[in-house]
Amino acid sequence: MKIYDHPLNNEVTVIEIEKLDEKKSFLNNIIDGFEIYGCAYPSASCGTIDKKVIYLDGRRRNMFNLDDTDILCDLTVRLADFELDNNSNTVEKSISIAEAAGDTTLLERLLLQPPEYFSNFKPVTQAA
């Protein structure tokens, strides 16, 4: 397991689950969540604490030969979902975040993604 600040927003912590973590029973609920919510999803307590948390399925890194930019795309889309307002959508917000960060590699990679990529990040109901 890796724990680090989101590369584009230090108010968000990323908990990246790795292959070895599958043997740790206390992480079973998080790992099960990837099948329900997709490859990156917010903690159920998101919004109830000062710092938001995203769980990331880092096991995909080796399975699909993903590079750091692929992972950053996943994290950017989930971050966009945090920051959505009534006048934007996930695609627009993700591109806006990449532009604001000045990361042209990320921006180019996001622009190459099919629309289905952005819909793979299913919304999660936050804890009451």
Any idea where the domains of the chain sit in the sequence? 2-119
- Write down the pTM of the prediction: 0.79
Q: Write the DSSP string, the chain.
A: -EEEEETTEEEEEEEEE-GGGGG-GGGHHHHHHHHHH-SEEE-TTTTSSSSEEEEEETTHHHHTT--HHHHHHHHHHHHHHHH--TT--HHHHHHHHHHHHT-HHHHHHHHHS-HHHHHTS---PPP-
Q: In the predicted model, is pLDDT for residue 85 greater than 50?
A: yes
Span 32-42, average pLDDT: 82
Residue 128 pLDDT grade (very low, low, confident, very high; cuts 50, 70, 90): very low
> pLDDT, tens digit, for every residue of 56-81?
999 988 889 999 999 999 999 988 88
Span 73-100, average pLDDT: 86
